[in-house]
Structure 1
Amino acid sequence: MSEADLIARTDKPGTRESLAADLASLGLKTGETVIVHSSLSALGWIAGGPVAVIQALLDVLGPEGTLVMPAHSAGLTDPANWRAPPVPADWVDIIRANMPAFDPRKTPTNGMGQIAELFRTWPEVERSQHPNCSFAALGPEASRILCDHALDSPLDERSPLARLYDLDAKVLLLGVGFDRCTILHLSEHRAWPERPLEAGGAPVLVDGVRRWVPYSAPPVGDSDLFVPIGSQLAASGKAATGRVGAADCVLLSSRVLVDHAVSEWREGGLPETEYHAPS
């Protein structure tokens, strides 16, 4: 979307102050821990762009709150598993040998949007050490959430998602749907723990030296499965809905969301969809 299109679809410019007021009206409270998924363009034209959005979130949460965002870098996965698009087979060894090692300060996010990409560089933000499924956080709970992110547990019990569940963090969708809701991957693992692991690998630093490290991890399913879960919770009143800027947004408890999905999916059984390694 061009900036001209964005201006045309915006009735009134959003500001740091107006966004903070909208977030508070949605139900976000001082001192909470929240994981945010976002689309800057969905919010309409914002004075200050992604800077103002992050400032507004931090204004509402205050110094006792903790802000978390996904900081995934999907390019740091095994090229042999790439499907969208695949690369020629004779490229795989070259890519594995030359892909830079994950560096939490340098490695950019991929497909997370402008807000999340800026947030990972924000002063004092911490980032977990997973090469392709990291998370970024700022606040008193950041270290607890991000520590010991296991290579073979990108999105399940030894990941920041499980610690967010333990804290009953809030999930905030700013202009995006439940298909972008990462914590539902934790529900997949809990509903279908019998899924076979899939082989992968990534370039990481081991004692300061770049190495290609193979590992196996639970597969990642079709995020289209997430959308009905969100619709059910919104219809039941367990998810708050409202506008932040020009965007339709959702706020709800991570435990309510994860537990509901686990219950629904266990009852329905393992879907006949193709699962794949994070990529």
Structure 2
Amino acid sequence: MNNPLISIIMPVYNTEQYLRQAIESVLAETYQHFEFLIYDDCSTDASSTIIKEYAQKDKRIKIFNGEKKAEKVVWIYKFLVDNSSGSYFIPTDSDDICLPQRLEILVNEAIKHPEASLIFGKTVMINQDNTQILGYLGSRVDPYRLFQSNYVPDGASLISKQHYDMCGGYNENIEWAEDYELRLRLLELALFIYIDKDVYLYRQHLTNYTAQKREPKKEVLFKTRIVTKSLETAEKFTRKKISDLIKHNKKINYSEYISLEYSAAYYRKYKKNIFKAYRLIRAMVYNEQNIINILKDSVLPVFLQVFYYLGGRKKVDKILNRMNSMVNKSEFVDKTVITGEMLRNGLIELGIRKDQKIIVHSSLSSFGYVLGGAKTVIGVLKDLIGENGLIMMPCFTYYTEHNNKKEEKYFDLDSPCSKDMGIIPEEFRKDPDVYRNFHPFTSFAFWGKNAQELAIKYHIAESLSDKSPLGEVLNEGYILMLGSDFSTVSIIHTAEYIAGVPYTGYSSEFNYIENGQRKTTTLRRTGHSEEFRKIADHLDHYPSIKIGNAICCLIKADYLVNTAVKILKNNPAYFLCDNMSCRTCQDRRSFLKIEDPA
């Protein structure tokens, strides 16, 4: 089945604030062969009107209206799946955001692995207004770890309808963690497949559908029952004793500690103790003062607190120290989140327009966190520039320099960029619509008008001169810096050629493979460009804008090069550093017959 129908199921209750964005994110999926089932659980706000509005525009949307408010959300999920027609279904919340390639990524993997019961990607947890990342859900498949915590996120999980039916579907007797309980039964039929790509944004706020129905006291008991009941399944898949697994496991999820460390580890030998633990949990949970004290700061979960009282004080202290360390290092807090729309708006304000010719120098990490990563940046640039424009990115391969060592590296068109080029150029060169010129050292990737012809034209051209690919933007193009500075701008090397500085003759040998033969050729060696930053002092105002944490600049290529040429004609050593230990600049000074400064 190469194009399976997917059923997207969405319960809705009073989410008018986020509903439009949620629905539009579904309709914007790149994989379009789906049906969209929405259940309105007697909303009292404008949610019903919004749903009807979209249903009139898109016939794939099917609306179901509840006669009275459902007591359990699991009933809605079961109802929607029972009324679906797809080979797979995917639960989607009405206040979350689907990334455009969610279905495409998951379905492609499902086609490759029809035996899988569930395929899931990574979920990014965001705050209410989508300005911060709060954490991540999703990790490599480990059957045992599923008994620690539910690391398989709902909106990022594509579930096989066949396997769903085989395991009995949603259990209508479950009030909480219905998705978790279903996962454990699906796991008995077939292992899951994980794809390490962001596919879904989970919005955390006080009016979440599940948060409105949540009763922490009862939920603790349900989760304890679910995990304890499923222990034999864990042993079946791991073929090891749970107690042995826990002893050697170093990635315990603190929020499920008691369900594993106490209940699971001693399941076979100490069944009586399990029930004793359960009674203690029950006693604690139903003591109002205890539950208030435990949950008031939303840090210590009930499982952890109970385990503390049952004798696991040292282990709990260790976990808390680890948590505090993570918070102190700010590993998961205060990260700026950049969406494609934010990036697009920022670049338009900066001056990016249709049909421009641009060379892009970039640092993805400088933005903060870009949803969708490098592909989002590339997609936005393509959309803004259009096919009649031209996007170029440097894809240099410093590691192909000939060094007379046993492990020589050889360039071909599939060679990855050197790591310091960044993630965006590497992702760009792998795009099927992008063409790369053959150059053992300073190759460029092209997208847009005449991209293929340009790649052919500049076969082993001069390194970075006006006769290299840089010449394509010299007269009417732009340099776009995304979070990078002038030290990364290759076209300043072109100014060295035009100014006629003697050290353009500085060269090295580079290795490449062509027609199956290994060869070596002599090419100009660029050397360091750290001092290119000094050119900023000679430039008048040019557009710049902050997108996330990244300073982004757009500057006309001819203006930048002409400025550099004037500087170099006056002082050919201007861009050479004053560091006497810098061999590269010392060698260049020898061409100029200038001694290193004392």
User: Which residue of the other structure, out of 149, 152, 176, is the alignment partner of 2:484?
Assistant: 176
* Alignment correspondent of 1:84: none
Shift, 1:51, TM fit:
1.0
SS for the counterpart of 1:258 is helix
The 3 A distance-change label for structure 1 pair 256 and 103 is same
Give the deviation of 1:6 after TM superposition: 7.4
| Pairing 1:16–2:340 present | yes
- CA drift at 1:78: 1.6
Q: Which has more helix, going by share of residues?
A: 2
Q: Residues 73, 221 of structure 1: CA spacing in aligned structure 2 closer, same or farther, 3 A cutoff?
A: closer
* Offset at residue 46 of structure 1 (A): 1.3
Shift of 1:163: 2.1
1:128 matched to 2:437: yes
Residues 264, 69 of structure 1: alpha-carbon distance in 2 compared, 3 angstrom cutoff: same
Q: Output one character per residue of 1:184-240: Cα deviation in whole Å (capped at 9) or x when no partner.
A: 11112222343362342222234x1322223243x425413311213432xx11x21
Cα deviation for residue 93 of structure 1 reads 4.1
The answer to whether 1:251 aligns with 2:557 is no
Matched with 1:187 is 495
User: Structure 2: which amino acid aligns with 1:204?
Assistant: Y
Q: CA deviation at 1:152?
A: 6.4
Contact 2:393 2:445 (C-alpha < 8 Å) held by counterparts: yes
2: distance between equivalents of 1:232 and 1:6?
A: 39
Gapped runs of 5+ residues in structure 1?
80-91
Structure 2: distance between partners of 1:214 and 1:33: 30
Q: Hey, what does 1:266 align to over in structure 2?
A: 569
- The residue identity in structure 1 corresponding to 2:335 is T
Q: What is the rounded CA distance, in whole Å, between the counterparts of 1:184 and 1:6 in structure 2?
A: 37
Hey, what's the Cα distance between the residues in 1 that align with 2:392 and 2:523? Answer: 26
Question: What CA distance in whole angstroms lies between the structure 1 residues aligned with 2:551 and 2:504?
Answer: 37
CA contact (8 A) 1:6 1:41 kept: no
Aligned-partner SS, 2:531: helix
Match runs of 1:53-64 below 5 Å:
53-64=377-388
Q: Residue in 1 aligned with 2:132?
A: none
- More RCO (CA 8 Å, sep 6+): 1
Structure 2 Cα separation of the partners of residues 9 and 270 of structure 1: 43
Contact 1:31/1:64 (8 A) holds in 2? yes
Relative to structure 1, the CA distance from residue 66 to residue 8 in structure 2 (aligned partners, 3 Å threshold; closer, same or farther) is farther
Does the 8 Å CA contact 1:14/1:44 hold for their aligned counterparts? yes
Match of 2:352 in 1: 28
For 2:516, the equivalent position in structure 1 comes to: 209
Residue 94 of structure 1 aligns with which residue? 406
Bigger radius of gyration = 2
Contact 2:417–2:426 (8 Å) recurs in 1: yes
Partner residue of 1:85? none
Q: Which string of whole-angstrom CA distances, capped at 9 and with x for unpartnered residues, describes residues 84-109 of structure 1?
A: xxxxxxxx24234xx3x3221x2000
Task: Give the TM-score taking structure 2 as reference length.
Answer: 0.40
Q: Give the % identical residues.
A: 27
**Distance 1:230-1:8 versus aligned 2 partners, 3 A rule:** farther
RMSD over aligned Cα, in angstroms?
2.5
Name the aligned partner's letter for residue 520 of structure 2.
V
Instruction: Summarize the Cα distance change of 1:189–1:8 in structure 2 as closer, same or farther, 3 Å threshold.
Output: farther
How many angstroms does 1:136 deviate by?
0.3
Instruction: Deviation per CA, 1:5-37: give whole Å up to 9, x if none.
Output: 5763434x2111111111000111111111111
Is contact 2:361–2:480 with CA below 8 Å preserved after alignment? yes
Local SS of the residue matching 2:407: helix
SS at match of 1:31: coil
Q: Is this contact kept in 1: 2:461–2:468, CA < 8 A? A: no
Could you state the TM-score of these two structures normalised by the residue count of structure 1?
A: 0.82
The 1:93–1:223 alpha-carbon spacing in structure 2 relative to 1, beyond 3 Å, is closer
Q: Per the alignment, do residues 229 and 115 of structure 1 end up closer, same or farther by CA in structure 2, a change over 3 Å counting?
A: same
How far, CA to CA, are the matches of 1:39 and 1:140 in structure 2? 25
Amino acid at match of 2:477: A
Give the secondary-structure state (helix, strand or coil) at the position aligned to 2:555: strand
Conserved? CA contact 2:436–2:446, under 8 Å: yes
2:180 aligns with none
Rounded Cα–Cα distance in structure 1 between residues aligned with 2:538 and 2:447: 31
- Tell me the alpha carbon deviations over residues 168-198 of structure 1, each in whole angstroms, 9 at most, x when there is no partner: 2110000011001111111122223433623
- 8 Å Cα contact 1:203/1:210 also seen in 2: no
Alpha-carbon distance in 2 for matches of 1:71, 1:258: 21
Q: Does the CA-based 8 Å contact 2:463-2:523 persist in structure 1?
A: no
**Aligned equivalents of 2:495, 2:466: Cα separation in 1:** 10
Give the C-alpha shift of residue 151 in structure 1: 3.6
The answer (yes or no) to whether the contact 2:400–2:512 under 8 Å persists in 1 is no
Equivalent residue, structure 1, for 2:82: none
Deviations 1:56-85 (A, max 9, x none): 111211222211111111111122xxxxxx
Paired residues of 1:148 and 1:158 also in contact (CA < 8 A): no
SS in 2 for 1:95: coil
Match of 1:43 among 342, 361, 367: 367
